[in-house]
Amino acid sequence: MAHTFVKDIMISDLASLDLSTTIKDAAKIMDEKNIGCVIVTKNNLPVGILTERDFVKRITSKEIPLSSTLEKVISSPLIDIGPDETVWEAAQIMKTKNIHKLPVRKDDKIIGIVTTTDLVKICSVGSDSEMRRICDQILTRMEKNM
């Protein structure tokens, strides 16, 4: 893998909302920014995350009114990782905790996020180049035998 550290693959453009924000306002922001989650804060400190999955499991299926605050529906406590940890460690945390979005924390601030899509992208880049190398080797051997 060309990128081995979380800081190399994380997305830095994040949205964060206060715990007192309504579910409806959070949904609007996620739609406008075309993002799958928002970091939720209390007194400017990260306390949780609201994901698309939370909308299904915690809001719609339980018929929570959209006028409710995020406090009732966020995933908390926040599971996060440091920017200098490896991509492998990020993947292990995501697998073990069964999460698809992993915030990146430096000190008391969320500075980025790693998603399963990010991991798939870097894995596919690695496998494409590896597959090309293997195919080249096979073709070279075939040419020698002709």
Write the DSSP assignment of 67-106 as a string of letters: TSBGGGT-B-SPP-B-TTSBHHHHHHHHHHHT-SEEEEEE
* C-alpha 113: how far from chain center: 5
Q: What is the pLDDT of residue 121?
A: 80
Q: What is the pLDDT of residue 129?
A: 61
**Residue ranges of domains in the chain, CATH in brackets:** 6-145 (3.10.580.10)
Q: Which two tokens stand for residue 29?
A: 């922001």
Question: What tens-digit pLDDT sequence spans the chain (146 residues)?
Answer: 445 899 999 999 899 999 999 999 999 999 999 999 999 999 999 999 999 999 999 999 999 999 999 998 999 999 999 999 998 899 999 999 999 999 999 998 999 999 998 888 876 665 556 556 555 666 676 666 55
**How many Å apart are CA 124 and CA 104, to the nearest integer?**
22
Q: What is the pLDDT of residue 128?
A: 59
Question: Which residues neighbour 45 within 8 Å (Cβ) at sequence distance 6 or greater?
Answer: 108
CB 49 within 8 A of CB 103: yes
pLDDT tens digits for range 35-72: 999 999 999 999 999 999 999 999 999 999 999 999 98
* Mean pLDDT over each residue of the chain, to the nearest integer: 88
Which conformational region is residue 44 in: left (phi greater than 0), alpha (psi within -120 to 50 degrees), or beta?
Answer: left
CB 119 within 8 A of CB 102: no
**How many Å apart are CA 141 and CA 59, to the nearest integer?**
58
Residue appearing with tokens 């460690």: 89
Give pTM, 2 decimals: 0.80
Q: What is the pLDDT of residue 1?
A: 44
* C-alpha 83: how far from chain center: 13
